[in-house]
Amino acid sequence: MIPDKAPGEDVYQATCDLRKEAHVPSFEKYKELYLKSVENPEEFWGDVAKDFFWKSKHTGQFLDYNFDVTKGKVYIKCMEGAITNICYNVLDRNVHDKKMGDKVAFFWEGNEPGDELKVTYRELLKQVCKMANVLKSLGVKKGDRISIYMPMVVELVVAMLACARIGAVHSIVFAGFSAESLCERILDSQCSLLITADGFYRGDKLINLKMIADDALEKCTEKNFSVQKCIMLKHLSKDGSLLPEGSQSPPAKRACSDLQVPWNPEVDLCWHTLMEEASDECEPEWCQSEDPLFILYTSGSTGKPKGVLHTVSGYMLYTASTFKYVFDHQPDDVYWCTADIGWITGHSYITYGPLANGATSVLFEGLPTYPDVSRMWEIVDKYQVTKFYTAPTAIRLLMKYGSGPVQKFTRRSLKVLGTVGEPINPEAWLWYYNVVGEKRCPVVDTFWQTETGGHVLTPLPAATPMKPGSAAFPFFGVVPAILNESGEELEGPNEGYLVFKQPWPGVMRTVYGNHERFETTYFKKFPGYYVTGDGCRRDKDGYLWITGRIDDMLNVSGHLLSTAEVESALVEHEAVAEAAVVSHPHPVKGESLYCFITLKDGFDYTISLEAQLKKQVREKIGAIATPDYMQNAPGLPKTRSGKIMRRVLRKIARNERDLGDVSTLADCTVIEQLFQNRCNTA
Q: Which of 283, 282, 284 is nearest to 85 (CA)?
A: 284
The phi, psi pair for 64, rounded to 5°, reads -120, 130
C-alpha torsion 522→525→526→531, nearest 10: -30
Q: Smallest distance, Å, CB 488 to ligand WT7?
A: 22
Among 560, 569, 636, 645, binds ligand WT7 (CB under 6 A): 560
User: Cβ(234)–Cβ(199) under 8 Å?
Assistant: no
User: What is the maximal distance between C-alpha atoms in the chain?
Assistant: 74
Applying CB under 6 A, which of residues 49, 82, 420, 444 lies at the interface with ligand WT7? 420
Q: What is the DSSP letter of 665?
A: B
DSSP 389-443: EE-HHHHHHHHTT-SHHHHTS--TT--EEEEESSPPPHHHHHHIIIIISTTTS-E
From 407, 449, 494, 598, residue interacting with ligand WT7 (rule: CB under 6 A): 449
Minimum CB separation from ligand WT7 for residue 451, in Å? 6
505 binds ligand WT7 (CB under 6 A): no
- Site membership for ligand WT7, residue 66 (CB under 6 A): no
Q: What is the DSSP string of 595-621?
A: EEEEEPTT----HHHHHHHHHHHHHHT
Instruction: Please report whether residue 481 would count as binding ligand WT7 according to CB under 6 A.
Output: no
CB 457 within 8 A of CB 473: yes
d(CA 630, CA 376): 34
Q: Is 583 in the site for ligand WT7 (CB under 6 A)?
A: no
Q: Is 464 in the site for ligand WT7 (CB under 6 A)?
A: no
Distance of alpha carbon 276 from alpha carbon 105, whole angstroms? 22
Q: Which span sits near ligand WT7 by CB under 6 A: 98-106, 146-154, 414-422, 597-605?
A: 414-422
Piece in contact with ligand WT7 (CB under 6 A), picked from 318-326, 448-456, 478-486, 634-642: 448-456
- Closest distance of CB 374 from ligand WT7, Å: 26
Output b/e per residue, 158-185; b: 16+ Cβ within 10 A: bbbbbbbbbbbbbbbbbbbbbbbbbbbb
Q: Rank residues 288 and 345 by Cβ distance to ligand WT7 and give the closer one.
A: 345
Stretch that binds ligand WT7, among 351-359, 430-438, 552-560, 665-673 (CB under 6 A): 552-560
Query: From the CB of 649, what's the least distance to ligand WT7, in Å?
Result: 20
* Distance separating alpha carbons of residues 475 and 465, to the nearest angstrom: 15
Q: Is 423 in the site for ligand WT7 (CB under 6 A)?
A: yes
Among 127, 196, 288, 298, binds ligand WT7 (CB under 6 A): 298
Minimum distance between the CB of residue 43 and ligand WT7, rounded to whole angstroms? 28
Residue 185 and residue 217: Cα distance in Å, rounded?
11
Shortest approach of ligand WT7 to residue 159 CB, angstroms? 21
Q: Would you say 227 or 546 has its CB closer to ligand WT7? A: 546
Judged by CB under 6 A, the residue of 532, 568, 583, 632 near ligand WT7 is: 532
Q: Is 329 a binder of ligand WT7 (CB under 6 A)? A: no
Among 111, 386, 555, 583, binds ligand WT7 (CB under 6 A): 555
User: In the chain, what is the straight-line distance between the N-terminal and C-terminal CA atoms, in Å?
Assistant: 42
Going by C-alpha positions, the residue among 472, 464, 460 that lies closest to residue 321 is 460
d(CA 255, CA 244): 17
DSSP state of 88: I
Smaller CB separation from ligand WT7, 251 or 300: 300
Smallest distance from the beta carbon of 297 to ligand WT7, in angstroms?
Answer: 10
Pairing of strands 590-599, 576-586: antiparallel
Which of these, 538, 391, 378, lies nearest to 470 by C-alpha position? 538
Cβ contact 58:45 at 8 Å: no
* C-beta of 153 vs 546, nearer to ligand WT7: 546
Query: Taking CB under 6 A as the criterion, which residues in 219-238 touch ligand WT7?
Result: none
Cβ 73 to ligand WT7 shortest distance, Å: 24
Smallest separation, CB 290 to ligand WT7 (Å): 22
Q: How far is the CB of 146 from ligand WT7 (least distance, A)?
A: 22
Should residue 549 be labelled a site residue for ligand WT7 when binding is judged by CB under 6 A? yes
Q: Is 534 in the site for ligand WT7 (CB under 6 A)?
A: yes
Which secondary-structure segment (H or E) carries 360? strand 360-364
Q: Is 174 a binder of ligand WT7 (CB under 6 A)? A: no
Shortest distance, CB of residue 559 to ligand WT7, whole angstroms? 6
Whether the ω angle into residue 371 lies within 30 degrees of 0, i.e. cis, is yes
456 lies in the binding site for ligand WT7 (CB under 6 A) = no
Contact 217/198 with Cβ under 8 angstroms?
A: no
Q: Find the binding residues for ligand WT7 in span 330-349 (CB under 6 A).
A: 343-345
Tell whether residue 500 is a contact of ligand WT7 (CB under 6 A): no
Binding range to ligand WT7, per CB under 6 A, among 246-254, 530-538, 587-595, 621-629:
530-538
Please identify the residue of the shown chain whose CB is closest to the bound ligand WT7. Answer: 450
Determine, following the binding rule CB under 6 A, whether residue 470 of this chain makes contact with ligand WT7.
Answer: no
CA distances from 534 to 168, 229, 445, 458, 541 (A): 33, 40, 16, 15, 20
3 state DSSP class of 180? helix
Which residue, 120 or 338, has its beta carbon nearer to ligand WT7? 338
User: Is residue 471 at the binding interface for ligand WT7, with CB under 6 A as the rule?
Assistant: yes
CB 463 within 8 A of CB 444: no
Residue 354 or 423 with smaller CB distance to ligand WT7: 423
Q: Considering only CA atoms, which of 543, 576, 570 is closest in space to residue 625?
A: 570
351 is a site residue for ligand WT7 (CB under 6 A): no
446 touches ligand WT7 (CB under 6 A) = yes
User: Which residues contribute to the site for ligand WT7 (CB under 6 A)?
Assistant: 298, 343-345, 420-423, 445-450, 471, 532-534, 546, 549, 555, 558-560
